[in-house]
Homo-oligomer: A and B are copies of this chain.
Amino acid sequence: MQGLAPSSRVVVLATFFLIGFGVAAADGRRRLVSGSPDEPCRQMTLYYHDILHDGANNTANATSAAATSPPALSNDTYFGMLVVFDDPVTEGQALPAGAEEEPAARAQGFYFYDGKGSFNAWFAFSLVFNSTARRGTLNLMGADLMGEETRDISVVGGTGDFFMARGVATLRTDAVEGLLYFRLQMDIKLYECYV
């Protein structure tokens, strides 16, 4: 009977590692895996600004451009129009004040519209961080269900400071100005990190 007590104590210890955060440590950085949707291992809120080229007059400011014309299926919702972007991403809602202010990150990738009866979109892109605070990339993809107040896409990988990250980004449309500008709030929660 004397042996059973330590045994149970160790099980508690071992499950401590597994429940909550599973921890695998080595070489400076430790792998953290969250045990719960409520406890991300890393979290940030960022704003994505898309400034679409109008084809003529806003070349200096535009950060994205339509690479395809919408095919004939559903012209009013731009079904099939694919937009390539290299967009600024900021910590606050305001655009960077001129070329000398660096954005927090850049979002490089594409979206296309894929709604027939109503607007809908799909995204794949990298968040590219290149500051003293954060260096590296996060890679994201998923459906931007424009009919929903908020919608979740996947963080499927990361590099540099975000080595091997995974998580979920919640998108919310924060501003729209016609076809040529929109801003998304992105709440990014990572559940797999190396820290």
On A, residues with C-beta under 8 Å from B are 2-7, 9-11, 13-15, 17-31, 33-39, 53, 55-56, 59, 62-68, 70-74, 79-82, 84-86, 108-110, 112-116, 120, 122, 124-126, 128, 136-137, 139, 141-143, 145, 152-160, 163-164, 166-168, 191-192, 194
**How many copies of this chain does one complex carry?**
3
A53 CB contacts on chain B under 8 angstroms: 71-73
A68 to B83, CA, bound (A): 11
Q: With A80-B67, A84-B79 as given contacts, are A122 and B108 in contact (CB-CB < 8 Å)?
A: yes
Among the listed B36, B74, B143, which residue makes an inter-chain contact with A126, where contact means beta carbons less than 8 Å apart? B143
Closest 5 CB pairs of A and B: A154-B157, A152-B159, A3-B6, A6-B7, A27-B36
Which of A63, A70, A141 counts the most B-chain CB atoms under 10 A from its CB? A141
